[in-house]
Amino acid sequence: MKSESIQQIMELRKKIRYHEHRYYVLDDPEISDSKFDQLLNQLKMSEAANPEIITPESPTQRVGGSPLKGLNSIEHTVPMLSLDNAYSAEDLLSLEKRMKEQARDEFDGFVCELKIDGLSLALIFENGKLVRGVTRGDGFTGEDVTSNVKTIRSIPLDLNDSVRQNPIRVEIRGEVFLPLESFKALNKERELNGDSLFANPRNAAAGSLRTLDSKVVSKRKLDFFVYQILVDGEIPGDHHAGNLNWLNKMGFKVNSHWKLCRSMIEVSEYCQNWEHMRDQLSYEIDGVVVKANSIQLQKRLGETSKFPRWAIAYKFQSKKVKTVVRDIQVQVGRTGALTPVALLEPVELAGSIISRSTLHNEQEINRLGLKIGDTVLIEKGGDVIPKVVRVLKDQRPKLAQDFQMPQECPICKQSVHCSEGEVITRCINMACVAKTKHAIFHFSSRKALRIEGLGEAVVSQLVDKGLVRDPADLYFLQLTELSELERMGHKSAFNLLSQIEMSKTRGLSKVIFGLGIRHVGERTAKILANHFGSLRSFSEAPRENLEAIVEIGPIVAESISYFFSLSSNKQILSKLSQAGLILTEKKSKISDNKFDGQQFVFTGKLSLFTREKATNLIEKQGGRVSNSISTRTNFVVVGDQAGGKLEKARNLGIAVLSQSEFQKLFD
């Protein structure tokens, strides 16, 4: 290839990078979108003609090759710590006191930054080139998301010339987020496609960043704000403020609202201002991060095993909005539980439109003192589903109506039952259509038989048309029956049928879980499958044999015996076997059972590991995890801001472990 054309291609790449930076980082484009696309196409064509000169940093390489099979784990060279939280002015003052006590003459103000509500990400640049993008994970080990990170246009694939000359390892840390507009557009598109919606922009960003197909990710419009730089594992420079300016010059997107404050009064004003102004931003923030400006002081203060001592996150109160409860509807769940749900005047809260909120049970309605027609405050914090937190009784209209739990099931009209001392009212009619629909939906859900494409709408139609009366009927459906359903063409019907076929091989524990026996969750299903080895011997086991299994208590045993005593359930089993599902499993020793039968409870926010990881460890060694503390609990593992559970554990004399003590136990 002629050196003249290499030169031209280099020039073109430089030009594209320049315009990417103007558009995605500075938000100040110089050329139109179509002109930009033209330049990119020109580069694509030149590179196609000269493939030998394509480098991973070329702007054409942002969307990589074929989808990945999974994400690899990568250990962080410097742990990605979390931040301690402050909720009040007092908490901020104690940070100031600590800093000033420790500082010699290093104190040089605080840098306040917006706390972006996304997920943290580390970018590794070697010799100025982006080589890896890693999620925070549990702080010590994250996941390799490099191909997805490259699709984020505000992330440069190589650093500006001034930095590239130093052959060093530069790590850039920051927050990946999804702007509100993009979040809304994404959910709208998912709604039209019948896909499940993301609860908030953070979940959407996290889900997107971990997607295996970078082509899908490139359409999601993820963005990235940078807040930290490490050079060869150390924070460089004298001042954090200087580092932010440097990062900017290197071509990164630094959130422009940061401020150098000289006193805690200024910090507190900054926090208050942003708490009021957060809705004016085009992305979500959940607080302010306050950092020591002096890097010397940061180094002197150091860190605990979880948090740096030189920074704190001032958390905003979770967002609340006012709306009106138009009605209270009663839903029937898989176990027949009747759940009252408030139908709300639709309002926007934290990026999504809220029109319903569960009220859990009659007792909760009484506790709130809620009537139909009331104006209420609803809250949505983090992942939490929106909930009614308070009734504004002074705004109650004259015609507000009391709510009464129905005496009959709203679906099958049979009478309902509420056992003494229980708060939950249930429909006990075995043939209730609502229960059937839930049972089938549960059977086909991801953690059970995983039949993709069998959404709630399809299940509902199948049951209403009498094509399916129980989960086993799914395996006898015909292509013509499926093709006649609403919004189901021949191709989708064919796909669904092949998904149903594929689900036959998921294995015994998935089938046991999928049956939806009360009190038999995923873990119990695994234990039962492992213990009995076949659906037949499980279903025929006398109650005392069930109770003899260490992890199975009398309530679970009773529930299993009751389930199989019903002839309708026995029929399901024989139909499943007739359909050719795999209903056996090789018995194996689950683990070395160091914690056989021991029960663990977690409380507070865990920072050293995820709950999921810890649960896996415990279960591998024969223990189990419960949500609530009882006399059967053996260990309580405490994270940050542990509340009532810790107190209860102490009162009951249960062993309390810190996170690191827990880690040692499993070393």
Q: Out of 308, 340, 351, 622, name the contact with ligand IVH by CB under 6 A.
A: 308
Q: For the sheet with 129-135, list strands across it.
A: 129-135, 119-126, 169-177, 223-231
Residue 301 in the binding site for ligand IVH (CB under 6 A): no
Q: Supply the minimum distance, in Å, between the C-beta of residue 227 and ligand IVH.
A: 4
Among the listed ranges 192-200, 306-314, 578-586, 643-651, the one in contact with ligand IVH (CB under 6 A) is 306-314
How far apart are the two ends of the chain, measured CA to CA in Å?
Answer: 58
* Nearer CB in complex with ligand IVH: 175/585: 175
Instruction: Determine contact, residues 518/442, Cβ cutoff 8 Å.
Output: no
Q: Supply the minimum distance, in Å, between the C-beta of residue 176 and ligand IVH.
A: 9
* Nearer CB in complex with ligand IVH: 83/462: 83
Considering only CA atoms, which of 42, 82, 72, 71 is closest in space to residue 59? Answer: 42
DSSP per residue, 24-48: IISS--SS-HHHHHHHHHHHHHHHH
**Long-range Cβ contacts of 191-199 (<8 Å, 24+ apart):** 194/455, 194/457, 194/487, 197/352, 199/352, 199/383, 199/385
Rounded to an integer, what distance in angstroms lies between the CA atom of residue 541 and that of residue 531?
Answer: 11
Rg (CA), the chain: 29
Among the listed ranges 14-22, 78-86, 338-346, 472-480, the one in contact with ligand IVH (CB under 6 A) is 78-86
Catalytic residue among 2, 69, 115, 437: 115
Element (H, E) at 338: strand 338-349
Instruction: Determine contact, residues 20/33, Cβ cutoff 8 Å.
Output: no
Burial class (CB in 10 A: 0-12, 13-18, 19+), 436: buried
Q: In this structure, what token pair is assigned to residue 482?
A: 């499926």
Among the listed ranges 70-78, 79-87, 458-466, 507-515, the one in contact with ligand IVH (CB under 6 A) is 79-87
Rounded to the nearest angstrom, the gap between the alpha carbon of residue 42 and the centroid of all alpha carbons in its chain is 40
Rounded to an integer, what distance in angstroms lies between the CA atom of residue 381 and that of residue 112?
Answer: 22
Q: Supply the minimum distance, in Å, between the C-beta of residue 115 and ligand IVH.
A: 4
Burial class (CB in 10 A: 0-12, 13-18, 19+), 284: buried
Q: Out of 25, 43, 71, 83, name the contact with ligand IVH by CB under 6 A.
A: 83
Instruction: Determine contact, residues 110/290, Cβ cutoff 8 Å.
Output: yes
Binding string, residues 191-210; x marks residues near ligand IVH by CB under 6 A: --------------------
* Nearer CB in complex with ligand IVH: 288/448: 288
State whether residue 182 is helix, strand or coil. Answer: helix
- 215 noted as active-site residue: no
Q: Supply the minimum distance, in Å, between the C-beta of residue 81 and ligand IVH.
A: 4
* Nearer CB in complex with ligand IVH: 113/171: 113
Q: Supply the minimum distance, in Å, between the C-beta of residue 83 and ligand IVH.
A: 4
Rounded to the nearest angstrom, the gap between the alpha carbon of residue 658 and the centroid of all alpha carbons in its chain is 25
* Nearer CB in complex with ligand IVH: 139/516: 139
Q: Segment 312-341, which members bind ligand IVH (CB under 6 A)?
A: 313
Q: Out of 12, 16, 71, 81, name the contact with ligand IVH by CB under 6 A.
A: 81
Q: By Cβ distance, which residue is nearest to ligand IVH? A: 120
Residue 227 in the binding site for ligand IVH (CB under 6 A): yes
Q: Supply the minimum distance, in Å, between the C-beta of residue 267 and ligand IVH.
A: 14
State whether residue 560 is helix, strand or coil. Answer: helix
The residue written with tokens 């500075």 in the block is: 26
Q: Segment 102-161, which members bind ligand IVH (CB under 6 A)?
A: 113, 115-116, 120
Q: Supply the minimum distance, in Å, between the C-beta of residue 440 and ligand IVH.
A: 40
Considering only CA atoms, which of 60, 24, 384, 398 is closest in space to residue 182? Answer: 24
Instruction: Determine contact, residues 140/79, Cβ cutoff 8 Å.
Output: yes
Q: Supply the minimum distance, in Å, between the C-beta of residue 260 and ligand IVH.
A: 14
Rounded to an integer, what distance in angstroms lies between the CA atom of residue 559 and that of residue 136?
Answer: 41
Considering only CA atoms, which of 315, 382, 312, 318 is closest in space to residue 81? Answer: 312
DSSP per residue, 410-452: TTT-PBEE--TT----EE--TT-HHHHHHHHHHHTSTTTT--T
Among the listed ranges 308-316, 366-374, 537-545, 550-558, the one in contact with ligand IVH (CB under 6 A) is 308-316
* Nearer CB in complex with ligand IVH: 81/527: 81
Q: Segment 254-273, which members bind ligand IVH (CB under 6 A)?
A: none
The Cα-based distances of 56 to 61, 110, 156 in angstroms read 6, 39, 12
Q: Segment 384-403, which members bind ligand IVH (CB under 6 A)?
A: none
* Nearer CB in complex with ligand IVH: 309/531: 309
* Nearer CB in complex with ligand IVH: 115/531: 115
Burial class (CB in 10 A: 0-12, 13-18, 19+), 324: middle
* Nearer CB in complex with ligand IVH: 513/609: 609
Rounded to an integer, what distance in angstroms lies between the CA atom of residue 395 and that of residue 212?
Answer: 50
* Nearer CB in complex with ligand IVH: 235/590: 235
* Nearer CB in complex with ligand IVH: 148/323: 148
Q: Out of 20, 47, 106, 175, name the contact with ligand IVH by CB under 6 A.
A: 175
The Cα-based distances of 234 to 110, 298, 301, 562 in angstroms read 20, 11, 15, 62
Q: Out of 289, 325, 344, 458, name the contact with ligand IVH by CB under 6 A.
A: 289
Q: Supply the minimum distance, in Å, between the C-beta of residue 82 and ligand IVH.
A: 5
How many residues of this chain bind ligand IVH (CB under 6 A)?
14
Among the listed ranges 65-73, 77-85, 469-477, 553-561, the one in contact with ligand IVH (CB under 6 A) is 77-85
Q: Out of 92, 134, 295, 311, name the contact with ligand IVH by CB under 6 A.
A: 311
Among the listed ranges 45-53, 81-89, 503-511, 582-590, the one in contact with ligand IVH (CB under 6 A) is 81-89
Q: Supply the minimum distance, in Å, between the C-beta of residue 299 and ligand IVH.
A: 13
Q: Supply the minimum distance, in Å, between the C-beta of residue 147 and ligand IVH.
A: 21
**Which residues make up the interface to ligand IVH (CB under 6 A)?**
81-83, 113, 115-116, 120, 175, 227-228, 289, 308, 311, 313
Active site residues: 115
